[in-house]
Structure 1
Amino acid sequence: MYKVTKPTLLLDKKKAIQNIKRMVEKARDSGVNYRPHFKTHFSKEIGEWYREEGVKSITVSSIDMAVYFAGHGWNDITIAFPVNILQIDVLQHLARQVKLGLVVESSDAMGHINQGISDPVDVYIKIDTGYHRAGIWHENAVEIKELITTIAKHHQFMGLLAHFGHTYQQTEINKILSIYKTEVSALNQLRDQLGTDMMISIGDTPSCSLVESFEDVDEIRPGNLIFYDVMQAEIESCHYGDIAVCLAVPVVAVYPERSEIIVHGGAVHLSKDYLKDDKSQAYFGKVVSLNGKTWSEPLDDFVVVSLSQEHGKITVPKGQIEKIKVGDLFGILPVHSCLTANLMKEYMTLRGERVSTLHQ
């Protein structure tokens, strides 16, 4: 049983492991490599839950994260973020310790890698298939072929890496599946044009959760699915019962006259990510009740209407407000679990055990 006295990120270990197992089995059935993204949990202890399911290779989003997990026994690490050439000396050190994968999108960056990293590294080219955040546009085959030549001078070209981040902006399953099909087709067409033996690595949680088979790719890298969150539930890539983290927050003020409560749980705990309901009202998480052992399904008509630095304002149904008093506890399912986990820096399991992260 857990005991909470301040904003605390509760972690349902059983749900998290079930989420890991589900994707491990799906990847195995499709014959693809599962290289989970650890940017969601960034915890050595949680990393072991993956290892127990047979996972041997991982993805991270920063060099600091790569150093942390290399120090905890992971020796096949891809940093799925364009190389920061200002940290080339750290990358050289990492390349001597582990099988290191790097992501590039320009010959300029690759030139710095060739000059600054003498030990061989695996290099992926970041491809933009429609998200328009980073990467070389998938139709620029000539530019990509030239970059492959630059890579092969000193290092190992591994393949094409993409992230279909625009799936997070969808609200219909068929649109998510359509994006996946279109983008994977674009990557395969590019591979055919290049005429080089290479892998295709993709990794967004919505499509990886909803697609049944990954026969047209070689590797998947989803990360958020270990915890899921309200955003994932709302786009139907998971159920609310799959969400494995919940921010426990104490009630610090009650205002019956306006049917509102104030909780100690604000933007420094949840971030300011929000969604909109069918009336276009913004909300910053889903409220649940706590009983010391687990949490409930989202409570009807309880709405997290605003967050400031430490404060959270929740509107409460009039028939419920008189039952709430200062010192009570509620839970908030986060809109975006990756940001909440990063802000909270540690977890408490439902058995009251503390789980550390790289921030500690």
Structure 2
Amino acid sequence: MELTAIRTPYLLLDRPRMLRNIHRLQARMDALGVVLRPHVKTAKSAPIAELMCKHPLGPITVSTIKEAEYFAEYGYRDILYAVGISPDKLEPLAALMHKGVKITVLLDSAAQAEAVLAANQKWNTGIRAAIELDCDGHRAGLVPGDPDILVIARQLHEGNALAGVLLHAGGSYHCETDAEKAAAAEAERQAAVSTAESIRAEGMQVSMVSVGSTPTAHYAENLEGVTEVRAGVYVFQDLVMAGIHVCALEDIAIGVVATVIGHRPDKGWILCDAGWMALSRDRGTAKQAVDQGYGVVTTLDGEVYPDLIVANTSQEHGVMMLREGSEAVLPDLPIGTKICVLPNHACATASQFEEYVVSDDRHTQATRWSRINGW
């Protein structure tokens, strides 16, 4: 089927670009001698996860119970649920353990550790937990050196449930220079390794020292002491990653294909049928040096229209216009023209769709790959 014949908006996946992204990071992890545990929350699709993983059983990272159950059905047997655990999530995870899936959860409090130990006793499982660390003030976790780390580690150790430590250098998403991203990666590594060593010094075993974000994974120069790296958005890349120079626009593997449905010459607008329901409301580039609106507009073949962005949206309308201050000429896009919008945040945009339209050449539809949404 010709791509132009598919009803818009739809989510186009450029398979060659995706494969280059996958191979680029895997080669880097291989060179640094560390296991890559892909975060499948970006793709949420078994055919894509199969390409991301070196081994069919994993390891993988998930962010929802639904993802854990879905990927377990496809044979993955080493799953890290990398969102702070709540007690109500433990029963379905215990059920997966009884199906032969190794489950590791994430926590940063004694109350969560107590819940994990109680669940293991109640359902006769061996769920293990990693202690979440905060290396940059980005989100959850305990600051390295916090005495609660050793208290929780001892609690888990005595219950045979201590996996190790985990952190996510989310602050790296604001690092523009290569030196800044490399420094963030080293700070992430040092926080993880030093904390693991402090736990080991108390006579406890730490098998997992897990770090990761797409920027730090690409710019880490030394991963000594780290057992695994997690990353997810690298599989598709997006405008946020391009804005901090982790990738180029030409590396972004997904886009929303839309149709031109109107013009407002008096305002310099071109309207398309992809609003925030298709593009998402994520405005991740708004605080970057170049604000990309709701997405950069390209031809269906992937050629970028100079300075043309989706500047505004309503539910089912996208308003395309030249970015402020541009000297480019608004392109002539007649009614019915198909365009493609590159996403600010690949995870958010992909979550608006139930499937990928996968193409090797952007002219013929190779196949459709399903994905899951929800929790």
TM-score by length of 1: 0.92
Following superposition, the deviation at residue 282 of structure 1 comes to 6.0
Partner of 1:315: 321
Given candidates 188, 194, 203, the residue that maps to 2:193 is 188
Partner of 1:171: 176
Structure 2 unpaired stretches of 5+: none
Following superposition, the deviation at residue 156 of structure 1 comes to 3.2
Tell me the secondary structure at the aligned position of residue 354 of structure 1.
Answer: strand
Report the Cα distance in structure 2 between the residues aligned to 1:106 and 1:221, rounded to whole angstroms: 22
Give 1:130-279 correspondences, 5 Å limit: 130-140=136-146, 142-194=147-199, 195=201, 196-198=204-206, 199-274=208-283, 275-276=285-286
Tell me, yes or no, if structure 1 residue 347 matches structure 2 residue 356: yes
Partner of 1:113: 116
Partner of 1:69: 71
Tell me the secondary structure at the aligned position of residue 344 of structure 1.
Answer: coil
Q: Deviations over 1:15-63 (max 9, x none)?
A: 1122112222222222211110000000011122124677721000111
Give 1:295-310 correspondences, 5 Å limit: 295-296=302-303, 298-310=304-316
| Letter in structure 1 aligned against 2:8 | K
Distance 1:54 1:120, change over 3 A: closer
Report the Cα distance in structure 2 between the residues aligned to 1:192 and 1:53, rounded to whole angstroms: 29
Report the Cα distance in structure 2 between the residues aligned to 1:191 and 1:152, rounded to whole angstroms: 13
Tell me the secondary structure at the aligned position of residue 221 of structure 1.
Answer: strand
Report the Cα distance in structure 2 between the residues aligned to 1:55 and 1:227, rounded to whole angstroms: 22
Given candidates 83, 90, 93, the residue that maps to 1:91 is 93
Give 1:278-297 correspondences, 5 Å limit: 283-290=293-300, 294-296=301-303
Report the Cα distance in structure 2 between the residues aligned to 1:277 and 1:79, rounded to whole angstroms: 30
Farther-moved stretch of structure 1 (191-200 vs 162-171): 191-200
Given candidates 99, 103, 107, the residue that maps to 2:106 is 103
Partner of 1:60: 62
Q: Deviations over 1:331-352 (max 9, x none)?
A: 1100000001111221101241
Distance 1:74 1:54, change over 3 A: closer
Following superposition, the deviation at residue 154 of structure 1 comes to 2.9
Report the Cα distance in structure 2 between the residues aligned to 1:81 and 1:311, rounded to whole angstroms: 34
Is residue 259–residue 318 contact of structure 1 (8 Å, CA) maintained in 2?
no
Aligned sequence identity (%): 27
Tell me the secondary structure at the aligned position of residue 167 of structure 1.
Answer: helix
Distance 1:154 1:329, change over 3 A: same
Following superposition, the deviation at residue 171 of structure 1 comes to 2.2
| Letter in structure 2 aligned against 1:91 | L
Following superposition, the deviation at residue 278 of structure 1 comes to 8.2
Is residue 239–residue 292 contact of structure 2 (8 Å, CA) maintained in 1?
no
Report the Cα distance in structure 2 between the residues aligned to 1:11 and 1:286, rounded to whole angstroms: 16
Tell me the secondary structure at the aligned position of residue 258 of structure 1.
Answer: coil
Is residue 266–residue 308 contact of structure 1 (8 Å, CA) maintained in 2?
yes
Distance 1:355 1:22, change over 3 A: same
Is residue 57–residue 78 contact of structure 2 (8 Å, CA) maintained in 1?
no
Distance 1:86 1:186, change over 3 A: same
Tell me, yes or no, if structure 1 residue 2 matches structure 2 residue 3: yes
| Letter in structure 2 aligned against 1:28 | D
Tell me the secondary structure at the aligned position of residue 131 of structure 1.
Answer: coil
Following superposition, the deviation at residue 205 of structure 1 comes to 0.2
Distance 1:30 1:359, change over 3 A: same
Report the Cα distance in structure 2 between the residues aligned to 1:242 and 1:340, rounded to whole angstroms: 16
| Letter in structure 1 aligned against 2:249 | Y
